[in-house]
Structure 1
Amino acid sequence: MTARALTVAPSAECKGLAPYASYRDSGLPWLGAIPSHWDVRRNGRLFAERVETGFEDLPILEVSLRTGVRVRDMENGARKQQMADRSKYKRAAKGDIAYNMMRMWQGAVGVAPEDGLISPAYVVARPFPEVDPRYFTYLFRTPAYMREVNKFSRGIVSDRNRLYWDEFKQMPSAFPPTGEQTRIADSLDAHGRLTARLIRNKRRLIGLLNEQKQAIINRAVTRGVNLDAPMKPTGIDWMPEVPAHWEVKRLKTLVRNVTEQTNALHEGETYIALEHVKSWTGEITPPGDDIAFDSQVKRFASGDVLFGKLRPYLAKVTRPEQAGVCVGEFLVLRSTKEAPMAEFLEVKLRSKTIVDIVNSSTFGAKMPRAEWGFIGNLRFAYPPSQEEQAEILDSIASETRAVSTAISRTENEITLISEYRERLIADVVTGKLDLRHIEIAAPGDEPAIDEDDALDEDLDAADTEDLAEAED
């Protein structure tokens, strides 16, 4: 078979770019055909392991799933920032590749932005002169390569598999000419900056739409549907007046804080952590089938309201339709006979007025938490009639429908943009598309793509635990 006889089919979304002129078989099922002038080399011919200790004055670096290698923030006192003896930490020179042995298969790999210290449980790979580490970081993060990483990793159980240096150096990788590696990396970096700016602008639009939506909801649950209804003073600074016929009671008289602990998940039940609940909507994204938790969790019943007390400004408030268990960072609030409808209770607790006042009570800089003692003593205003409660909920649904549609459409656009970039990277670094003729945009003020990802306020459990797990 001649080199030109081989063809490739790049992703449909990337067909504005062309393949290379000729290809040959790489001999690797996951890689397929590669440009004729490319090579395939084992990582041991591209990198040397760096194991250097004793540089205790260097800054600490961490390997994140989202942002690659970055300098760790040492100003806050979170658990992940408490360190062992610095003398045991490895030195990573600027331009080295470092990866988390336990999470390399998820993309926990990146280029050191400056000289620093890496956990002794991580691997530091020094690139040889003909290697541009940025290109290989892009390659290592592709889905196909991460599946190969999983095959080369070893351990007692699958979720504890580690990719040791001896296995990493045996892994084959695509190897374009050095200048082409740099050209590919420069092009993808530039595309990442433009993508980040586009996503950032769309997220700002979503933020504005959410503000509009929350204003509608907040007005409805604090004033009702009839804006001309007579009002009465409450004597409360953050809630000076409410409709005259509404009840005002402390929340702890309307709900019970359920604290039943368990370490078992029964058949038909669901498991909910903070990352499974969408901010300000209560939408639940259930985890996959493989559910595991190492500590006790709280049990809740169908219809209970879960209120996220960790970083309450995220408004992680939801009402599951089926029973299950949740992490301890949720308050499990169960309605009493005197309480309003559970649907109204949920929406009211997620309103901006309630979220803001709860957030003002938190303690802790990095991981602020609210306490039930404060939340339970809040004055809760609501119409006594369930008919009026239902009318308010219907009004909210009607007035926010168009805004919700616009938010959903913009979120879908962000998803498509991110998916396009992921497919583009995979096609480019495996040689399915030729970027050599593409003009590279000059760097602007926009953030790098991973810095833009960091704007997402949701908890990233993998980022929080990567260091601690690798060091145990």
Structure 2
Amino acid sequence: MTAPPNSSAYDAYKCSSIRWLEKIPSHWGISRSKHLFSQRIERAKKEDVQLSATQAYGVIPQDQFESMVGRKVVKITLHLDKRKHVEVNDFVISMRSFQGGLERAWAAGCIRSSYVVLRPLKELDSSYYGYLFKSKRYIEALQSTASFIRDGQDLNFYNFSQVDLIFPPYCEQIAIADFLDRKVGLIDQALSVKERQIELLKERKQILVQKAVMLGLDPNVSMKDSGIEWIGEIPAHWVIKRLKYVLEERNERSKTGEEPLFMVSQVHGLVVRSEYHEKAEVAASNVDNKIVFEGDLVFNKLKAHLGVFFKSCIPEKGIVSPDYAVYKRKAYIDDLKLLEYLFRNPSYISQFVVRATGIVEGLIRLYTSELFDMPVPVAPSDEQREILRFIEKVSEKQDKAIVLLEEQITKLKEYKSTMINSAVTGKIKVPGVVEPERQDLEMA
């Protein structure tokens, strides 16, 4: 990636004794990390609010985090006095810090005792070190200090102290942080716009697909009441059929278990498991698993709350878990891909949940008898083919646009990462920074 506009290199560099950096500006200092930060060992105060350490938002009040992510986090009510006190602009080493850098505290409060709290020892700019601790080169250096038995284990002050730090002049720390605040803010705005565009494209695609399978393609067609309240009106020349007349359950079982094992992926559809989960745990024996043929409709009965049905487009016979249901075409619907689209309609998903057996979401099961009792709108065969061609064309167009936006997002994120790394390590000189004269450096 190229350097950001309006930036340049420093006039003079020196070799760095820091193993994760080669060269730094000549007038920058190098310090042992424990000389810049020490552990804060204060226990929680009575008035402290509970904090959450997050990679996305830093260390913020737990209530604020809950509102941002839209879900509740279990609050600790016992032994609060044993939690650690945190001040604004401290940094926290959490169990996941080795994945995404140290977390800056944006609020004062208390945090779980297993975390390490770092307090600044010198006059330094927390915004600058916030960027430094999130830079790719620093995270790689931090990762190299420990051998983890499992993710996040034993990341502590010792690990932090093994990574020496650069120490630019205080005024430059502020200038670099201000520069990055502006540039990163603009990039994040652009990312948000593109991510929203992707959401809108997906919503648009879903609307067009659902309208096609429920109402057809002719906006001027005469309509009639389907007789089913949650389906509503359908084209007058369509009919309503119960699924027991459309589908037939396939109960053929594997005698050897040697056929390719299939699985349902909400992103990729029905796929060969080994191609997506090479090391995934599988049953000791696949004997008596259900057989699937190309063109069959496959459904994980335990995922009724998601309504995930997929037609098999795999040109070979395979097997699926006994927890899956396999259906073959019986009559009226020529291509079961049409039902795959239809069953993603919110009205059908709601009916799946209502008709399923179970209490806890994720553990409810939709039985074939309940599924087969459900009605579906059926168009003439030639119209079914037209609808599928339309959906294929719409999907191709929307998916191309989404891929293009995803590529732009990837490039923006790479640019953002490169810019942060370059600015905090001195590879570029940000606007407003004035270097000391060479003679001043030599006298120093």
Q: Which TM-score applies when normalising by structure 1?
A: 0.70
**Which of 68, 71, 88 is 2:61 aligned to?**
71
Which residue of the other structure, out of 339, 342, 345, is the alignment partner of 1:345? 339
Identity over aligned pairs, percent: 25
Structure 2 residue 189 is matched with structure 1 residue 161? no
- Describe the shift of the 1:335–1:271 C-alpha distance in structure 2 as closer, same or farther (beyond 3 A): closer
**Aligned: 1:53 with 2:43:** yes
Q: Which residue of 2 aligns with 1:425?
A: 420
- Secondary structure, in 3 states, of the residue corresponding to 1:171? coil
Give the 5 Å matches for 1:168-179: 168-179=160-171
SS at match of 1:152: coil
Match of 1:198 among 185, 190, 205: 190
1:210 aligned residue: 202
Matches within 5 A, 1:253-268: none
**Does 2:223 correspond to 1:240?**
no
Hey, what does 2:122 align to over in structure 1?
Answer: 129
Q: Which has the larger displacement, 162-171 or 230-239? A: 230-239
Aligned length: 401
Q: Deviations over 1:140-161 (max 9, x none)?
A: 2222221211221244x15353
> Aligned residue for 1:38?
28
Q: Is the 8 A contact 2:98 2:139 kept in 1?
A: yes
| Farther-moved stretch of structure 1 (60-69 vs 234-243) | 234-243
Q: CA offsets per residue over residues 103-147 of structure 1, 9 Å max, x none?
A: 112115321111111111111100123222222221122222212
C-alpha contact 2:263 2:270 (8 A) present in aligned 1 = no
Determine helix, strand or coil for the equivalent of 1:304: strand
Does residue 381 (structure 1) correspond to residue 376 (structure 2)? The answer is: yes
Structure number with bigger Rg: 2
CA gap 1:165/1:209 in 2 versus in 1, 3 angstroms = same
Name the structure 2 match of 1:304.
298
Distance 2:138 2:126 in 1: 15
Query: Offset at 1:268?
Result: 7.2
User: How many Å apart are 1:64 and its aligned residue?
Assistant: 1.6
Verify: 1:335 aligned to 2:327, yes or no: yes
Unaligned runs of 5+ in 1: 1-10, 259-265, 294-298, 439-472
Residue pair 1:308, 1:316 contacting (<8 A) in 2 also? no
What is aligned with 1:408? 403
- Say which is worse superposed, 161-170 or 386-395, in terms of deviation: 386-395
Report the alpha carbon displacement of residue 28 of structure 1 after superposing the two structures with TM: 3.0
- Secondary structure, aligned partner of 1:81: coil
Aligned residue in 2 for 1:220:
212
Query: By how many angstroms is 1:222 displaced?
Result: 0.6
| Structure 1 counterpart of 2:104, from 108, 111, 115 | 111
1:249 aligns with 2:242: yes
Q: Paired residue for 2:440?
A: none
Q: Partner residue of 1:455?
A: none
Partner of 1:93 in structure 2?
Answer: 87
Query: Structure 2: 5+ residue runs without aligned partners?
Result: 252-257, 283-288, 434-444
Instruction: Please say if residues 247 and 384 of structure 1, whose CA atoms lie closer than 8 Å, have aligned partners that are also in contact.
Output: no
Tell whether the 8 Å contact from 1:305 to 1:320 is kept in structure 2 after alignment.
Answer: no
Distance apart, 1:78 and its partner CA = 6.3
Please, which moves more after superposition, 58-67 or 302-311? 302-311
Give 1:79 deviation, angstroms: 7.6
Distance between the aligned counterparts of 2:348 and 2:199, measured in 1? Answer: 19
Give the Å deviation of 1:96: 0.5
Q: Distance in 1 between matches of 2:304 and 2:30?
A: 48
Report the alpha carbon displacement of residue 287 of structure 1 after superposing the two structures with TM. 6.8
- CA shift at 1:377, angstroms? 8.4
Question: Residues 148-206 of structure 1, C-alpha deviation per residue, up to 9 Å, x if partnerless?
Answer: 11221244x15353321122123212221122112211221222222222222223333
Write the deviation string for residues 51-96 of structure 1: whole angstroms up to 9, x where unpaired.
2214243221112222222221368996842426222211111111
Taking the aligned partners of 1:121 and 1:325, their CA distance within structure 2 comes to 43
Partner Cα separation in structure 2 for residue 432 and residue 287 of structure 1: 40
**Counterpart amino acid of 1:113?**
W
Asked whether the 8 Å contact 1:308–1:317 carries over to 2, the reply is no
> Which residue number in structure 2 is paired with residue 446 of structure 1?
none
TM-score, normalised by the number of residues in structure 2? 0.74
Cα RMSD over matched residues? 4.4
- In 2, Cα distance between the equivalents of 1:318 and 1:108? 40
